[in-house]
């Protein structure tokens, strides 16, 4: 098979078993994952590839990300460059690491990142519902990555959902399994996809403005995935905040524990938006969690995270973390016996 060199025209046509050149290294595509704004290729280095090649440092298995090519390729590439600029500054265990930025033949870019086993959405399809300990493990991993991004560059993600959380096996997986039964506790969960992130840092914003993205808005306030978007993000002129991301994180937490979302996902889009903005979702969430075997302490935390009014949600990731710790202590039966 003749290897394909990455170009704007070829990237959308790559399929499993195709061979693609990354620099001078041949990689065989094992799986391609299409998202709303990008294409991720999971690839394995071809056996014939020499270890002397420049990009051999990427390892035997790599994930390659490129923007999906549509009607406005220049704009799509500009948005992708903006994401790469934000992403390149992150070095944290719960954010998918960017290993390298590679150039295609026609001046386009390809992001090389760590191989991963799949997304949280893949696990949800397999398991449907998660235990409290599994859910807390996933949420705390996500919380750690989001906290880092906001502390470092005042970045808000704005598209938190299971598809944008990838996982890999932890180096301490066997140790984790000895304490908690189940595969999920062996995984490290990492936040990915910073394509519509909002940047509040003046220094990073100035870098973004000097690039060919100056004509693009730095905040994509009304973009995202409907089911995970906070009510205030549907209001014109209302700025996004940490509270907006905490809402999305709360929706993921709710979905992990209950196996569904409190919004009619099969309904037409306008009806879903109406459920969110008219606060029907909040009443549905409250009713379902009260009927599930979820400790009341965690029900209260989730309801605070997805509260319709942003000022009634936790004001920071640090406060949210402390609230989760406190809920865990209160939910512990021994704690209850001592302090009842």
Report the candidate in 244, 282, 246 with the shortest Cα–Cα distance to residue 261: 282
Helices 296-305, 317-331: axis angle to 10 degrees equals 160
Residue range(s) in the chain whose domain bears CATH number 3.30.200.20: 4-114
Coarse DSSP helix, strand, coil percentages of the chain, rounded to the nearest 5 percent:
45, 20, 35
93: which DSSP letter? T
Query: What whole-number percentage of the chain has pLDDT above 90?
Result: 39
Secondary structure tally for the chain: helices H, strands E: 11, 12
> For domain 4-114, which CATH number applies: 2.60.40.3080, 3.30.200.20, 3.40.50.1000, 3.40.50.300?
3.30.200.20
- The pair of three-digit structure tokens given for residue 66, joined into one six-digit string: 């490129």
pLDDT of residue 104: 61
- DSSP codes, 95-112: B--EEEEEE-TTS-EEEE
Is residue 147 pLDDT above 70, yes or no?
A: yes
pLDDT tens figures, 270-304: 888 899 988 899 999 999 998 888 999 999 999 99
Residue 133 CA: distances (Å) to CA of 97, 180, 182: 26, 8, 10
pLDDT of residue 269: 86
d(CA 213, CA 228) in angstroms, rounded, equals 26
User: pTM of this prediction?
Assistant: 0.85
CA–CA gap between residue 203 and residue 207 (Å, rounded): 7
- Pairing mode of beta strands 187-191, 165-169: antiparallel
Considering 2-6, 145-149, 172-176, the range whose residues carry the highest mean pLDDT is 145-149
Residue 6: predicted pLDDT: 53
Task: Single out the residue of 177, 84, 192 nearest to residue 141, CA to CA.
Answer: 192
Task: Decide which of 93 and 170 is more confident.
Answer: 93
Measured between alpha carbons, how far is 61 from 282 in angstroms, rounded to an integer? Answer: 43
- For 245, residues 6+ apart whose C-beta sits below 8 A from its C-beta are 146, 156, 157, 158, 160
Residue 17 class from Cβ within 10 Å (0-12 exposed, 13-18 middle, 19+ buried)?
exposed
Reference 256, options 208, 189, 178, 312; nearest CA is 189
CATH architecture of the domain formed by 118-339? Orthogonal Bundle (1.10)
Q: Where in the chain is the domain with CATH 1.10.510.10?
A: 118-339
Instruction: For residue range 213-236, list pLDDT tens digits in order.
Output: 433 444 455 677 888 999 998 887
Q: Average model confidence (pLDDT) for the chain?
A: 80
């Amino acid at each position: 098979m003749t290897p394909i060199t990455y170009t704007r025209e070829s990237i959308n046509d790559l399929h499993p078993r195709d061979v693609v050149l990354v620099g001078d290294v041949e990689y065989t595509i094992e799986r391609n994952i299409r998202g709303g704004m990008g294409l991720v290729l999971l690839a394995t280095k071809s056996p014939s590839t020499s270890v002397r090649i420049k990009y051999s440092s990427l390892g035997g298995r790599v994930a390659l990300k490129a923007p999906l090519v549509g009607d406005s390729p220049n704009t799509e590439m500009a948005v992708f460059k903006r994401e790469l600029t934000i992403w390149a500054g992150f070095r944290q265990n719960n954010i998918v690491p960017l290993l390298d930025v590679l150039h295609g033949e026609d001046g386009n870019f390809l992001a090389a990142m760590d191989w991963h086993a799949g997304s949280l959405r893949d696990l949800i399809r397999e398991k449907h519902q998660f235990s409290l300990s599994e859910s807390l493990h996933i949420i705390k991993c996500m919380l750690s990555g989001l906290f880092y991004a906001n502390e470092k560059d005042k970045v808000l993600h704005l598209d938190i959902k299971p598809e944008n959380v990838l996982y890999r096996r932890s180096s301490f997986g066997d140790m984790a399994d000895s304490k908690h039964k189940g595969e999920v506790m062996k995984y490290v969960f990492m936040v990915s996809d910073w394509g519509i992130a909002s940047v509040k840092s003046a220094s990073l914003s100035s870098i973004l403005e000097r690039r060919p993205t100056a004509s693009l808005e730095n905040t994509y306030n009304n973009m995202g995935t409907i089911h995970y978007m906070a009510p205030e993000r549907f209001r014109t002129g209302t700025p996004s905040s940490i509270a907006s991301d905490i809402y999305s994180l709360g929706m993921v937490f709710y979905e992990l524990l209950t196996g569904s979302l409190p919004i009619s996902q099969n309904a037409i889009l306008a009806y879903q938006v109406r459920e969110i903005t008219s606060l029907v979702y909040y009443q549905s969430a409250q009713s379902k969690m009260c009927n599930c075997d979820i400790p009341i302490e965690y029900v209260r935390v989730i309801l605070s995270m997805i509260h319709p009014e942003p000022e009634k949600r936790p004001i920071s990731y640090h406060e949210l973390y402390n609230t989760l710790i406190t809920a865990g202590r209160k939910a512990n039966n021994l704690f209850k016996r001592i302090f009842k």
